[in-house]
Amino acid sequence: MLQGFAVAIRMGATKRDFDDTVALHPTSAEELVTMR
């Protein structure tokens, strides 16, 4: 899963982009897209 986030960041994704996504429950994706 982290590789997917790495690709997104390399392609220009920002913290705001991650904030605007919906996390799949229950996964560690929730930890990344709900960081404040």
Active site residues: 25
Report the chain's C-alpha Rg in angstroms: 9
> What whole-number distance in Å separates Cα of residue 30 and Cα of residue 11?
21
- Determine contact, residues 1/27, Cβ cutoff 8 Å: yes
